[in-house]
Amino acid sequence: MSNLSLFDLIGKKALVTGGAVGIGRGCAVALAQAGADVAIVDIDEKTGTKTAEEIKSMGRQSLFVKCDVTDKQQVQAMVTAVVEAFDQLDIAVNNAGIAILGADEELPQADWDKVIAVNLTGTFLCAQAEAQQMIRQTPTEGKIINIASMSARIANCNASYDASKSGVVHMTKTLAVEWGRFNINVNCISPSYILTPMHASTPVAVRQRIREITPMGYVERPEDLSGAVIFLASAASNYVTGHDLLVDGGHTLNAWLAPLGREIPPRISPDQESKQMKADLDKMGLPYDANGINPDLHPEIADVFRQAFGD
């Protein structure tokens, strides 16, 4: 096996939850570029179907499966549908996730429950159903990749989100211990702020602040995760398990420092930063301004930033 073919995913069968847009779509495209056939799993049928078509236009097999990851029966049926189409399941990226912002001293319990249900319980239900399939098939092996967040390590968003993501990281370690004997690697990837529809309302001043405190000097984009997801999905990571791969441009190293100066332009320009997010918003048929901002998409995020940074 050459070093390059270590990363080869030709013939591999994958699924990505929350794959319609954003990070999930970015992971699906990366896996397809490396050769995998990829099922798109999401509650958003309209956009998810378009993303599945996009994967097919790359010369790979794809299908859309509608599934709410909080519902165990739907999750079991989703894995069955993927295996009916692909015959097997080699790679699963459990990415579906939400944030409901709000001051924690007043957060309604229903909001807490919803975030934990999607981010933590949903990730577990998917991983469990995927592992059951990987254990059943021959050869018995698989790669499960959970999308956590830098918020598992730093107090960044709010209690429900941060707790759910810390839960994903620790759950990943436990599942890695339990499922190593089935040749299943279980790892997670922790991104920092990524310009996706989840952050479409982030004002220009906040993006600039992120650049200033991030050593690599630009705001993360979905394709910045491509290398990490291909690595964890491929034979290149066969001896890596229970790992939380932080992909944050160094953001969490310096969160408390004064702005970092730089004389050399970063690799990625502000225009390039928001290109993928604009593509997501185009796919969803949603408008945005010249800076790629749609303040109506997640007004609660815009409000939090407005309180911290002004207009």
Residue nearer to ligand NAD on the CB measure, 18 or 217: 18
- Quick check: 17 and 145 in contact, CB under 8 A? no
Give, in order, the Cα–Cα distances in Å from 274 to each of 43, 262, 278: 24, 21, 6
Q: How many Cβ atoms sit within 10 Å of the Cβ of residue 189?
A: 24
Residue nearer to ligand NAD on the CB measure, 36 or 118: 118
Our answer to whether residue 161 is catalytic in this structure is yes
Per residue, the 3-state secondary structure of 233-249, as one string, reads: HCHHHCCCCCCEEEECC
Nearest distance from C-beta of residue 194 to ligand NAD, angstroms: 4
Residue nearer to ligand NAD on the CB measure, 8 or 44: 44
Residue nearer to ligand NAD on the CB measure, 191 or 292: 191
Q: How many CA atoms lie within 13 A of 218 on its CB side?
A: 18
Tell me the C-alpha distance between 306 and 230, whole Å: 37
Question: Which residue(s) pair with 311 in the sheet?
Answer: none
Spatial strand order of the sheet with 142-147 comes to: 62-66, 37-42, 13-17, 91-94, 142-147, 184-191, 244-247
Residues 6+ apart with CB under 8 A from 117: 70
**Residue indicated by tokens 């290109």:** 275
Nearest distance from C-beta of residue 8 to ligand NAD, angstroms: 26
**Contacting residues toward ligand NAD, per CB under 6 A:** 17-18, 20-24, 42-44, 67-70, 95-98, 118, 122, 147, 149, 191, 193-194, 196-199
Annotated catalytic residue within 161, 193, 218, 288: 161
- Quick check: 92 and 143 in contact, CB under 8 A? yes
Residue nearer to ligand NAD on the CB measure, 96 or 232: 96
Pick from 25, 19, 15, 31: which is nearest to 221 by CA?
25
Pick from 126, 127, 198, 96: which is nearest to 157 by CA?
198
What residue number has its CB nearest to ligand NAD?
A: 97
The encoded tokens of residue 232 equal 């964890």
Catalytic residues: 161
